[in-house]
Amino acid sequence: MSGGATDLSRATITEVVRDVNIISPASKARKPARTQQVFSTPDVLHAGRESRAEMVAVDKTVVRVGADTYFTFEPEQRQIALKRGSLLFQSDTGKGGGTIQTEAGVAAVEGTTLIVVTTSKGGLKVLLLEGKGKVTTPGGELRVIRAGEMTYMLPGGKLGPVQDFHLQQQVAASRLVLGFRSKLPSLDKIKGEIKKQNAKIARGALLETGLLAGNAPYEAYAITSREVLLKEEGSARSGRFHTAATSDSPIDQGTLDPARVFDTGGNEVPRFRLPALTGGAISHAQARDGTVFVARNTRLATRRIALGDFSDRSFFLFLSSEDFRIDQSASIGRSATKPLVIAAGRTIQNAPGTVLTARTAALTLIAFGTPLDLENISNVQPSADGTPLALDRFGIENRAGDIQLIGPTTMLTNFGVAAAGNFGIEAAGSLRIADSITSNPNFRLERFQLGQRGGPVETLFKGSPATAPNGRGIEAGKAVRITSRREIVVERVDFSAENIRIAAGGSLRVTSARFSNANFNSSRGRVELIAGPLIAINGAQFDVLDVSLAARTIDLSNTNFAAGSRVVLDSATGLLAPRANTGQPSRPGFVNFLTNVLYGGNRVNDGSPLIGTRIIIK
């Protein structure tokens, strides 16, 4: 089984109420559903009037089906087709989320609980009970909804606005939430959201209308108005922070404009949720003991920023509601024991050829993909569908500690990293890293040449692509950790660290890459590559002791594993496809040695004694 997101194509039925049947699409035969029965694609589940069912997938994802409902699992990864009726979907964060496909649109979720209901003549309603989700239409319309919010689609495919609904009344009325013997795993989270919403209603930030959406008595959604108060009494938007948050600022000298610098424990600064706003770099304990520089758009245009005046504070945060742009290679001074964060609502930009250098416990760059209201920030996180984070010909170095990069869809070209500690990337969307080749004289510059000894050779990095302006690849003194909720593409990249882990929610595609420990020495180090449907590698050298690859299907070409290393290849079937290294087509679910797969420079063929000893396939 893959080490990435679990394929949502089967689940065990845990409870059946009244009339629930499984229909075979081929024969049209109907059989009563039973508890402990495994329901899987392509069969269709039908719950009759006043009936319902619950099923749980291997990764503990819960699907509850309401009355008069037809649904099935789609062959696509983690997708459910709701033909008619209603269902509740609950999946914990990190399990891969899922999508619910109807004729009208698609509801996509990641670590959340929602209810989806089809309506007559092709309509759709989606209600978020906790977490965050989005609804898209075939025409490209998008609505992002959060806990206590719903949207709907009218017949014809047009999305309605986002509206609030009364969570407490909905939970009390819905059999999908409380109509089963087992407790919904996310019920405590839902109760927490109910408490938050009731507090808003109590202070008048949400106004109850008494209106209902839907005519089924057990799906009585009590809708509140969208009349949210812009401010509470005594909190009018004015003063120094408002001026700073709504105006642009260049940083063109070594000292900062004092009108834009604030103590996070002062009365002028809103109560930010700093752990969310800074990607966890700032803890709750530090939140009121830091310094923040505030602007709408910030432009860094000086060679050095001295932060010595703030060395007694727990952290320093550069916060821009829209963009942060690096126009000049710069060094930012900071205590080697305290974190430094650059956060931008929309994105972080750089002039080509610039290098950012710091000396700090942790240097974090975080972009959210959408502008932030700095005076009303709640629980924000990067949006996969927002403005991409695109850094081109850019170098970043932290000579004392870690570097962390967090953003929406992320594209890094000629991107050079040197972290004394750990380096991490977290992409809410897809991720692409290209042309990050080291020219660091401390590392060997020999290029591994692919091909049997004495036979044709092919250079791993064709054409010697331009390096980043600091001459680095992706280098860390300790570990490299890279994750993306969608696809990851790696093209012509040097990775160097004691441990390297790359995990993609979608496919992972690698072309011309080298994975090595910090000394380019195969006697130690570990590389772990994880993906959902596919890992496809064409051109890679693994100069480490321990290699682990896990995906539903693994395709390898022009790949060399170091002599003496241990290699574990984990696919859906746990089998090596026959005719290894003969150019045969890829077989889904298998480990495929397509062509020129080597161990210690020698081809690995069917029946090799290395299989099962040094190369473990499971």
pLDDT score of 96: 61
- What is the Cβ-side half-sphere exposure of residue 77, based on CA atoms within 13 angstroms? 20
Lowest mean pLDDT among 87-91, 381-385, 531-535, 543-547: 381-385
Decide if pLDDT at 214 tops 50: no
pLDDT score of 208: 61
Decide if pLDDT at 133 tops 90: no
pLDDT score of 263: 85
Decide if pLDDT at 235 tops 60: no
- In 3D space, the residue among 236, 396, 375 whose CA is nearest the CA of residue 319 turns out to be 375
Lowest mean pLDDT among 106-120, 366-380, 523-537, 560-574: 106-120
What backbone phi and psi angles, to 5 degrees, belong to 217? -60, -30
pLDDT-based confidence at residue 197 (cuts at 50, 70, 90): confident
Q: Mean per-residue pLDDT for 448-453?
A: 36
Q: Given its phi and psi angles, is residue 349 left (phi above 0), alpha (psi -120 to 50 degrees) or beta?
A: beta
Confirm if 544 and 517 have CB atoms less than 8 A apart: yes
pLDDT score of 534: 97
Q: Mean per-residue pLDDT for 104-131?
A: 79
| Helix, strand or coil, per DSSP, at residue 370 | coil
pLDDT score of 487: 97
| Helix, strand or coil, per DSSP, at residue 319 | strand
| 465-507 pLDDT per residue, tens | 567 898 899 999 999 999 999 999 999 999 999 999 999 999 9
CA dist 514 and 532 (Å) reads 22
Report the residue count for the chain. 618
| 295-311 pLDDT per residue, tens | 999 999 999 988 876 77
Decide if pLDDT at 578 tops 70: yes
pLDDT score of 224: 46
Confirm if 350 and 390 have CB atoms less than 8 A apart: no
Secondary-structure percent of the chain, ordered helix, strand, coil, rounded to 5: 10, 45, 50
Decide if pLDDT at 236 tops 50: no
Lowest mean pLDDT among 187-201, 301-315, 404-418: 301-315
Q: Mean per-residue pLDDT for 133-151?
A: 80
Query: Residue 611 gets which letter from DSSP?
Result: B
pLDDT-based confidence at residue 430 (cuts at 50, 70, 90): very high
Comparing 513 with 3, which gets the higher pLDDT? 513
Predicted TM-score (pTM) of this structure: 0.62
pLDDT score of 597: 95
pLDDT score of 205: 65
HEC per residue, 61-102: CEEEECCCEEEEECCCCCEEEEEECEEEEEECCCCCCEEEEC
Structure tokens at 376: 């009303």
CA dist 349 and 391 (Å) reads 6
* CA angle at 380 for the pair 374 and 386, rounded to the nearest 5°: 95
Lowest mean pLDDT among 256-260, 273-277, 394-398, 399-403: 273-277
In the block, which residue shows the tokens 């948050």?
245
Decide if pLDDT at 547 tops 90: yes
Q: Mean per-residue pLDDT for 123-132?
A: 86
The string of DSSP letters for 554-599 reads EEEEEEEEPTT-EEEEE-SS--BPSSTTS-PPP-TTSEEEEEEEEE
pLDDT score of 228: 28
Decide if pLDDT at 565 tops 50: yes
| 11-61 pLDDT per residue, tens | 999 999 999 999 998 898 999 999 999 998 889 999 998 899 999 988 888
Which of the given ranges, 255-264, 435-444, 532-541, has the highest pLDDT on average?
532-541
Number of H helices, E strands in the chain: 5, 52
CA dist 271 and 402 (Å) reads 27
pLDDT-based confidence at residue 102 (cuts at 50, 70, 90): confident
HEC per residue, 103-165: CCCEEEECCEEEEEEEEHHHEEEEEEEECEEEEECCCCCEEEEECCEEEEECCCCCECCCEEE
pLDDT score of 455: 34
CA dist 487 and 534 (Å) reads 10
Task: State what percent of residues in the chain have pLDDT above 70.
Answer: 83
Handedness of CA 356, 526, 531, 494 (dihedral sign): positive
CA dist 544 and 566 (Å) reads 9
Q: Given its phi and psi angles, is residue 254 left (phi above 0), alpha (psi -120 to 50 degrees) or beta?
A: alpha
| 151-166 pLDDT per residue, tens | 877 666 677 777 888 8
- Round the average pLDDT of the chain to a whole number and report it: 83
Decide if pLDDT at 101 tops 90: no
pLDDT score of 552: 97
Confirm if 298 and 251 have CB atoms less than 8 A apart: yes
Structure tokens at 264: 């996070």
pLDDT score of 419: 93
What backbone phi and psi angles, to 5 degrees, belong to 76? -65, 150
| Helix, strand or coil, per DSSP, at residue 527 | strand
Q: How many CB atoms lie within 10 A of CB 169?
A: 17
User: 76: Cβ–Cβ under 8 A, 6 or more apart, which residues?
Assistant: none
Q: Mean per-residue pLDDT for 381-397?
A: 91
pLDDT-based confidence at residue 231 (cuts at 50, 70, 90): very low
Decide if pLDDT at 215 tops 50: no
Confirm if 134 and 143 have CB atoms less than 8 A apart: yes
pLDDT score of 220: 35
User: 282: Cβ–Cβ under 8 A, 6 or more apart, which residues?
Assistant: 274, 275, 290, 314, 315, 317, 339, 341
pLDDT score of 500: 96
